[in-house]
Each structure stands twice: as structure tokens, then as C-alpha cells.
Amino acid sequence: MNAAYAELETRFKRINLLRQSAGMLQWDLETLMPPGGAGARSEQLATLSVLAHELLTEPRVGELLETAAQPNGLDPWQRANVKGMQREWRHAACLPAELVEARSKAATECELAWRAARPANDFKGLLPRLQTVLDLAREAGRIKGEAFGAPPYDALMDEYEPGATQAEITPLFDRLAGVLPELIQSVLDKQARGPAIEKPPGPFPAATQMALARRLMENIGFDFKHGRLDTSAHPFCGGVPDDIRLTTRWNEADFLPGLMGVLHETGHAMYERGLPSDWRLQPVGQALGMSVHESQSLIVEMQASRSREFITWLAPVAAQAFGGSGPAWGADNLVRIYTRVERGLIRVDADEVTYPAHVILRYRLERALIAGDMKLADLPGAWAEGMKNLVGIVPPDDKDGCLQDIHWPGGSWGYFPSYTLGAMTAAQLFDAARLARPEIPAFLGRGDFSPLMAWLRENVHGKGSLLTARELLIAATGRPLDPEIFLRHLRTRYLESA
């Protein structure tokens, strides 16, 4: 190991410790911090961000990376670590400081304006600020694209999905888009012929929901010596691999959303906890992009926890927890509830079948906006047309149309594809896991995730960022990302099952 590489490891350890500290402060802000602490907390987080950025962008870092990248006997993990360092450094160093500051300021102002504009259904009022955010994202994409040798949109996606390209994603999404409208209608037709859903009667006390959620987390393998579950306005997974902080919200009229939120975030947590411990403060020990991270939450929430085997086990457990009885608490009824498909306007409320259509719409629109092929003023009309074609429903207003997401006002351009890439990846990994470990469904039928988690630890979690997402998927499943596996999963669950 040469001196340049050793110095880089020390530097990136400090950078990631600063980031982890900021992450814990952010968790506290979302869960426990009194409102009066907001000003001080904002300054604390900003200071940690600046310190990490300065460590990453000092002129000496570029020289060290150039030296460390030479053939010098580094092992595969160290070589992959250098690549991860180079990627982080390029993203941070290629943009002028004034552009970074302008993007941050514009996004903060636009996000605050969005919080008022959405309930007021005021797209025109938001338009000037959103245009500024878009213009700055275009400029950042142009500069990063030149630095990376990639189209601007690809360079923006790389912030969230390393190595992702439109050339690979567009055919995958086009395949889904060509099938989803007819598939959605077929599922709706099947549901209409089936028994009506019976909603389990509440109320469902939050404390009881919390106790049930903690039991399920332990079944999945979550170690409460290295994490905790709390309540917040929006579910999320934060903290650090040795101290993972999960949150959810409870609805005492319906226990299913809170429970599913916990299962989703526990999938994220298990991934973070399973990352290679020897490399946790280095780029190679970090999660492998947002689509792989999303795949781990969806394997737990969608693939495993909405399976008939798991729900058959869960039904009497939930009934006992809430003192319920009767047909509404039967496994068949809960399966129908968990797998209900509806045409809806809101992405975050969408089911497993319609959700990809929501994401594909956003992918197509933001590509066109970044490329300058569409004017921002035309977004509401383009949104309505896309929803009609892909989901089969037209929003009555912008509030439930193009104003519903925080991503674009907050400056996150290129993030949306990771959601559906994650769903496709989850289906492919779960399919491979069941082939390798045929006992997985039977264990889920006992509420036991251990065979599934063991396979994921070996084939996904423990790899960190040693491989690219494509390489990891090929190594784990024998093929690159294949939309047919995801489509087969949807047809099997929603059309062929009893």
C-alpha cells in the first residue's frame, strides 16, 4: 500500500465521520429536537457539511488520487476504494463554489415556496423559482457531463446511481411502459370479480402497533443493540451502521401503513448493518447507489412481506395483538388488502403495479426538461397527458399532479429512476434467492427471514461498493437487470394467484 493511498484512507475516514455525525444530528432534528433548536441545528449541519467538503476538495486530493490510481499492488478492495474516492472527488471538485452555493440557496428557497404553492395549487407562482433551480441543475449537469464524458442527465443521475445511463435505462422503462397500462386494467378486472375487502375494525393504539412492529423487526433480524425505532412525521432510516435509527408514523384507524413503513425501512437498515465492517468509513464500504438500497427495502416490504406465506403467518399474530377476530382478520382478506391495486394520482400512495408508471412519467419529463426539449411552463399539460397514458387517470389540478413531489423543487434531478430500478432489482434478487435457497418461502410462512437475510448478506450487503451495480446483479443472479423478471412477478402475484 503506497503512501498516497494511506493518506487518502485517513482523509476519507474523517470525511465519513463528519457525515455520520451530521446524519445523527439530522435524525435528532426529525424526531426529538424542540422547535427552538432549529437555528442552531441548521448552523451545525452546515458547518459539518463545509468541513467535509473542504477535506474532499483540497487541491492535494487530486494529486493523491492520481498517484494512488497507478498500478501499485493494491488489492481488489483498495482498487475499488480508489475508484469510489475518484467519483466522490470529481462530483465535488468539478463545480465552481459559486454554483454549488447558488444551487443550495435556490433549492432551499424553492422548497420553502413549494410547501406553500402545493396546497394552494399555485404552479404559476412557483414557476420562477423552479425555473431557477432547473437552470442551475442544467448548468451543473453540463459541467459534470464534460468532466465525466457523459450527457448532462447521466451526470446528474450519477449522483444517486453510480454508472447509470439513459442508454441502459430507457429501453428497460420503455418495456415496462408498453405493458403496464394493459396489466393494470387486467388486475382491476380480476379484483372486480373477486370478494370484497373487509377492513379490520380499529382503533389500533400506537403503542400496540409499535410493539408489533418491533417483533417483526426482530424476526427480520434487526438487532436493537445497534439501533432503535421512533416516531416521526415521515418514515426514514438514518444513523450509522452500528447505530441505525428507524422512524415511522402511526395511524390509529389503520395499522397497515405504519407496519409496512417499518418493514420497508427495516430493509434499508439491514443493508446498512450488513455492509462490510472493515470498510465502513471508506467509499468502498458504502451502499451501492440508491437502486440497490431501494431494492433491499422492497425485498423486505414487497417481495417477502406481501407474500401469501408471510401474510398467512402474520394474520393470527396481528389479530392477537389487536384483539381482533372474524373474517376481516383472515389471511385471504389481508392478502387482498396488501395487494390491492388502484389507479391513483399520488406516487407515494401507489401500489406495486401502478408505482412504476408514476416513476417512468417523471423520468421522461425530467430528461426532457434537463435536455431543454420541453419548457417548464408546459409541465402541467405534459404531466396530465403522461398520467392518462401510463396510469389511466388525469389529475384534476396541479396540486395532485406536477406539484406533488419535493424532489425537483429541492434540487434532486436524476433521482426518480432509482425507485423503479430498485423494484426491478428486488424482484430479480428475490427470484435468485429462492432458487438458491428453496426453503425461503416456507421460512417466511413461519415469520422467519433468516435464510433470505443470509443470502442477501453474502450476495449483496457484504459486497459494499466492491462491484458496480451491474456486476453485482450478474454475480448474484447470473444476468444483468431484466424487466421480464419483474413483469413475471407482477403477473404471478396479481393475475395468477388465487
Grid cell 426532457 is found at 368
Burial class (CB in 10 A: 0-12, 13-18, 19+), 336: middle
Q: For the chain, what is the total number of helices (H) and then of strands (E)?
A: 20, 3
Q: How many CB atoms lie within 10 A of CB 324?
A: 17
Task: Please spell the DSSP secondary structure of 420-460, one letter per residue.
Answer: HHHHHHHHHHHHHHHHH-TTHHHHHTTT--HHHHHHHHHHT
**∠ at Cα 240 (238, 241), nearest 5°?**
115
Q: Please tell me the distance from the alpha carbon of residue 301 to that of residue 380, in angstroms, as a whole number.
A: 32
The contacts of residue 435 (CB under 8 Å, 6+ apart) are none
Q: Please tell me the distance from the alpha carbon of residue 409 to that of residue 369, in angstroms, as a whole number.
A: 13
> What's the N-to-C CA distance of the chain in angstroms?
59
SS3 401: coil
Q: Please tell me the distance from the alpha carbon of residue 494 to that of residue 308, in angstroms, as a whole number.
A: 12
The contacts of residue 333 (CB under 8 Å, 6+ apart) are 195, 197, 198, 327
Cβ proximity of 481 and 470 under 8 Å: yes
| 390-418 core/surface letters (b: 16 or more CB in 10 A; e: else) | bbeeebeebbbbbbbbebbbbbbbbbbbb
Q: Sheet harboring 243-248: ordered strands across?
A: 227-231, 243-248, 236-240
Cβ proximity of 252 and 206 under 8 Å: yes
Q: Which three cell numbers stand for residue 287?
A: 451502499
Q: Which three cell numbers stand for residue 82?
A: 480508489
Strands 243-248 and 227-231 turn out to be parallel
Identify whether 7 is a catalytic site residue. no
Question: Among the residues of 194-252, which ranges form H helices?
Answer: 206-220
Cβ proximity of 316 and 302 under 8 Å: no
Selected catalytic residue, list 265, 272, 301, 352: 265
Which residues are designated catalytic? 265
